[in-house]
């Protein structure tokens, strides 16, 4: 029985093979408990990793990141879902560590380090643990939800390994598939566009349904450092995303709930 389905939305990233190999190397699940679904968003993977646990879903048309994640989840057979970017490395036993303690109504993210994708090594930069969800001014007339490092909570919870947090980057998360089916349904592309605010949408839907956004410091991922750039395009080739519109759409949908219920709960 498949316990974990790893969804990797991919768009022409040369690190895809390394990410898949890293997951296979560091997983501590039994071979029949893991599947990795690489969603190739409008292109063909030329040299896929040869392992029976690796499945390739070629989308005939470029759908963008949200659409690629939705497509991967739709064919996932695992009891649990993990989503990761195509340029990440992981701690030994990362999957078992999180699945051993995850609850049915949680989204869980691990500690996040920065990755040098050339050397394929964690960079000597302090990791990100707790994050605070804030509304940030992007420019005149444009605001967005963003998760920023939360040093005060890091200090307050320094001896607690699994605890509630407010936000996440979105490059790696776990949840039970039944929770996705019941609460998330699918990532909405109308209004948000195809690239941004996916973690914000999932967190707010989870809170509304009585669930929690959790941090597990017992394990980690390392995500490609921003200085190396990002490859997944903003939207699709035919319909580029207007990020400003997507940011403001999220504020329109969730802003009142955030101000009236979430900020008072967290005393921010």
Using H for helix, E for strand and C for coil, what is the string for the chain?
A: CCCEEEEEEECCCCCHHHHHHHHHHHCCCCHHHEEEEEEEECCCCCCCCCCCCEEEEEECCCCCHHHHHHHHHHHCCCCEEEEECCCEEECCCHHHHHHCCCCCCEEEEEEEEEEECCCCEECCCCCECCEEEEEEEEECCEEEEEEEECHHHHHHCCCCCEEECCCCCCCEEEEEHHHHHHHHCCCCCCCCCCCCCHHHHHHHHHHHCCCEEEEEEEEEEEEECHHHCCCCCCECCCCECCHHHHHHHHHHHHHHHHHHHHHHHHCC
CATH of the domain at 83: 3.90.550.10
Pairing of strands 142-149, 172-176: unpaired
Burial environment of residue 263 by CB neighbours within 10 A (0 to 12, 13 to 18, 19 or more): middle
Give the alpha-carbon dihedral of 161, 119, 234, 199, to 10 degrees.
-10
Q: What is the pLDDT of residue 145?
A: 97
d(CA 177, CA 79): 6
Nearest C-alpha neighbor of 109 from the set 166, 181, 158, 47: 166
Q: What is the pLDDT of residue 187?
A: 98
Q: What is the pLDDT of residue 195?
A: 87
CB 187 within 8 A of CB 171: no
Q: What is the pLDDT of residue 256?
A: 98
Phi first, then psi: what are they for 28, rounded to 5°?
-115, 15
Write the CA distances from 51 to 88, 113, 221, integer angstroms: 19, 27, 22
Q: What is the pLDDT of residue 132?
A: 98
Write the CA distances from 119 to 11, 15, 18, 114, integer angstroms: 21, 11, 11, 12
Q: Do you know the residue count of the chain?
A: 268
Domain coverage including residue 37: 4-266
d(CA 54, CA 51): 6
Q: What is the pLDDT of residue 235?
A: 47
Q: What is the pLDDT of residue 203?
A: 98
CA 24, 86, 45, 82 dihedral sign is: positive
Per-residue pLDDT of the chain (268 residues; tens, 9 = 90+): 999 999 999 999 999 999 999 999 999 999 999 999 999 999 999 999 999 999 999 999 999 999 999 999 999 999 999 999 999 999 999 999 999 999 999 999 999 999 999 999 999 999 999 999 999 999 988 999 999 999 999 999 999 999 999 999 999 999 999 999 999 999 999 999 998 999 999 999 999 999 999 999 999 999 998 776 665 554 445 555 568 999 999 999 999 999 999 999 999 9
Nearest C-alpha neighbor of 42 from the set 19, 74, 65: 65
Instruction: State how many domains the chain has.
Output: 1
């Amino acid at each position: 029985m498949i316990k974990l389905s790893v969804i990797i939305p991919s768009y022409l990233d040369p690190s895809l093979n390394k990410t898949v190999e890293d997951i296979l190397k560091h997983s501590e699940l039994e071979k029949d408990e893991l599947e990795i679904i690489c969603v190739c968003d409008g292109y063909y993977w030329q040299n896929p990793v040869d392992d029976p646990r690796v499945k390739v879903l070629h989308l005939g048309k470029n759908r963008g990141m949200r659409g690629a994640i939705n497509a991967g989840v739709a064919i996932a057979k695992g009891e649990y879902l993990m989503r990761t970017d195509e340029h990440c490395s992981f701690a030994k036993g990362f999957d078992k560590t999180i699945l051993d303690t995850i609850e049915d109504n949680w989204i869980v993210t691990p500690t996040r380090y920065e990755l040098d994708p050339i050397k394929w090594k964690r960079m000597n930069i302090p990791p990100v643990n707790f994050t605070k969800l804030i509304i940030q001014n992007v420019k005149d007339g444009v605001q967005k939800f963003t998760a920023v490092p939360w040093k005060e909570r890091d200090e307050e919870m320094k001896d607690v390994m699994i605890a509630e947090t407010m936000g996440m980057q979105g490059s790696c998360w776990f949840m039970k598939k039944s929770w996705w089916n019941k609460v998330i349904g699918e990532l909405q592309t109308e209004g948000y566009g195809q690239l941004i605010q996916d973690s914000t949408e999932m967190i707010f839907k989870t809170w509304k349904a009585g669930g929690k956004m959790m941090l597990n410091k017992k394990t980690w991922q390392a995500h490609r450092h921003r200085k190396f750039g990002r490859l997944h395009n903003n939207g699709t080739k035919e319909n580029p995303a207007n990020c400003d519109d997507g940011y403001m759409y999220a504020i329109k949908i969730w802003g009142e709930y955030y101000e009236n219920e979430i900020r008072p709960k967290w005393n921010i």
